[in-house]
Structure formats: structure tokens, C-alpha cells
């Protein structure tokens, strides 16, 4: 199936403005100029500033935009992150969509930073997953990076990840091993990862040449340590499943290379921002 590229900013503006902004068009003078600033109302890790700025540009390229705080910055309540100057109508039309992107993406960055800090070590990389909002994957994965995390595969097309359902429908482990070898010969530069939920599977996968990463699914720290001892210097290991802010340090202490967390993109809390507008007199 051919991939279709859809611009999330255009989609968001289309669904919000539709055939026109009735309130602004009827109640705000056409030539009214204004300044505005987007303000944070809580401590957070910032992400989505360029996306929010682009929303204002798409609505009116004449609006002057200053990004005061860059993505990845730690911000406090009261901090201005974007400043604007231009037609009041344009600023008001873009306001909600810009804030929606900013609060969502900053929520992802903030949650990611909490997990990175809670892990307590630079050895392990905190990864996202494909559990993203449809159409917003690129923006949400960029927000993970702004929060200090790293990206797992972007989609089904850039990496192999053999999960339990793939293994169930395969014709036995020998067939899987043969397929791994065949794929490695055909695509030598593409990473291959396999999922294991038991140490027996880890032992079996370690006998297969060409595997780069073994994902340890829902394993306890003691099992993770044992798996790493079995495959030290042979493959990389990723822990996933049931990872929380309370247990991530214990998981990271096992020596695992990666910890992937779906909650980074499927369960962040939106960060509170508002736009404060000041009309300019002629």
C-alpha cells in the first residue's frame, strides 16, 4: 500500500477553522493589531515550539513570531515561550491549534524527561514506541527527543521487529532462523530485533546469527540480568512492558541497553499554556 503523507498542521487548521472563524470575523476589527505571548502555567520540558510557530505562519505569514524558549528547555510557570505581533484576527484564529500542539508535545517531552531522570544512569537509552497519535508520529517522536529520550523504529518499514504474534504464525523456530539469515543477506544494514518473554527464547535467539537486539518483554529484573549474562557482547537488550517511574531505576540497574515505554506517547498529561493578547492602539 502506498504511503500517503498528510500535513498535521493543515489538517488541524482545517478542522478548527472550517469555512471561517465566526467569532473573530464578526467581533474583531479587520485592521486591529495586537501583540501576544504564549505563557506556561506550570514547570515542564518544552517541545513543539516550531510547530506552534508554523501554525501562526500558515494562518498569516505577516505575523512576527519570536520563539523565546527552544525545545528541550526546562520552563517554569510564568515563562513566555513564544511572542507574536500582527493582526489580532490572525493570532486568534491560530491560537487554539497552536496551543493544542504545544501542550500535547510538551506533555510528551515532560514525561520523557521524568523517565530519563528516574532511570538514574546514562548507560540506558529511553525509547518511545509506535503507540502514537495517528498522523502525529513525527512530531511526537521529536518531542521524545526533546525530553532526552531516543526514537525506536519510526514505522514498519525501517526495522524488523519479530514479536510474539509473528512467531506464532511462523512455521517453527528453524524457519524463523532461516528467514533471519535470508533477510540479513538481502538487507545487511537494517536492524533486526526479536521479542522474547522467557529465558528459553533468549537462549534460542542467541544461537541465530544476524539478530541485533533482543526485546525482553515483561521480564522481572532478575530475569533481565540473567538474559544479559547469557548474551553479553553478542547482542543488545531492550526491556519493555510494565515500566513505571517507580520501577525504572531498578530495571535500568540490570545493565539493559534500552528501555522502551509506550506511555511516553500514549499517556502524557497535557501541559497548561495560554495565550495572552494585548491590543495595540493606532
Q: 21 an active-site residue? A: no
Query: Pick from 108, 44, 36: which is nearest to 77 by CA?
Result: 44
**Strands ordered across the beta sheet of 160-162:** 125-127, 258-260, 236-240, 213-217, 192-196, 160-162
Of 96, 130, 153, 249, the catalytic one is 96
Of 163, 178, 182, 232, the catalytic one is 163
Q: 163 an active-site residue? A: yes
Helix 8-17 vs helix 49-59: crossing angle, to nearest 10: 50
Q: Are strands 125-127 and 258-260 parallel, antiparallel or unpaired?
A: parallel
Number of other residues whose CB lies within 10 A of the CB of residue 49? 25
Of 79, 128, 193, 195, the catalytic one is 195
Of 71, 128, 193, 217, the catalytic one is 217
Of 57, 131, 225, 249, the catalytic one is 131
CB 111 within 8 A of CB 243: no
CB 73 within 8 A of CB 119: no
Q: 182 an active-site residue? A: no
Q: Are strands 74-75 and 125-127 parallel, antiparallel or unpaired?
A: unpaired
Q: 96 an active-site residue? A: yes
User: Please, what is the end-to-end C-alpha distance for the chain in angstroms?
Assistant: 56
What amino acid positions are annotated as catalytic residues? Answer: 96, 131, 163, 195, 217
Amino acid at each position: 500500500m502506498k504511503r500517503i503523507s498528510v500535513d498535521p498542521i493543515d489538517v488541524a487548521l482545517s478542522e478548527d477553522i472550517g469555512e471561517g472563524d465566526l467569532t473573530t470575523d464578526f467581533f474583531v476589527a479587520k485592521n486591529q493589531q495586537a501583540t501576544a505571548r504564549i505563557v506556561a502555567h506550570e514547570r515542564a520540558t518544552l517541545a513543539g515550539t516550531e510547530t506552534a510557530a508554523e501554525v501562526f505562519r500558515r494562518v498569516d505569514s505577516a505575523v512576527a513570531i519570536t520563539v523565546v524558549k527552544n525545545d528541550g528547555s526546562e520552563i517554569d510557570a510564568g515563562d513566555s515561550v513564544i511572542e507574536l505581533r500582527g493582526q489580532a484576527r490572525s493570532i486568534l484564529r491560530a491560537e487554539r491549534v497552536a496551543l493544542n500542539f504545544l501542550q500535547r508535545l510538551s506533555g510528551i517531552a515532560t514525561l520523557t524527561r521524568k523517565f530519563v531522570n528516574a532511570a538514574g544512569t546514562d548507560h540506558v537509552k529511553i525509547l518511545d514506541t509506535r503507540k502514537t497519535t495517528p498522523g502525529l508520529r513525527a512530531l511526537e517522536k521529536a518531542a521524545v527527543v526533546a525530553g532526552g529520550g531516543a526514537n525506536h523504529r519510526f514505522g514498519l518499514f525501517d526495522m524488523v521487529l519479530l514479536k510474539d504474534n509473528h512467531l506464532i504464525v511462523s512455521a517453527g523456530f528453524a524457519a524463523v532462523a532461516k528467514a533471519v539469515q535470508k533477510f540479513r543477506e538481502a538487507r545487511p544494514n537494517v536492524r533486526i530485533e526479536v521479542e522474547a518473554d522467557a529465558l528459553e527464547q533468549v537462549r534460542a535467539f542467541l544461537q541465530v546469527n544476524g539478530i541485533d537486539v533482543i526485546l525482553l518483554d515483561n521480564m522481572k529484573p532478575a530475569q533481565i540480568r540473567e538474559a544479559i549474562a547469557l548474551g553479553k557482547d553478542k547482542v543488545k537488550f531492550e526491556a519493555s512492558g510494565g515500566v513505571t517511574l517507580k520501577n525504572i531505576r531498578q530495571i535500568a540497574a540490570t545493565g539493559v541497553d534500552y528501555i522502551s515505554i509506550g506511555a511516553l506517547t500514549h499517556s502524557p498529561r497535557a501541559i497548561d499554556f495560554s495565550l495572552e493578547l494585548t491590543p495595540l492602539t493606532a
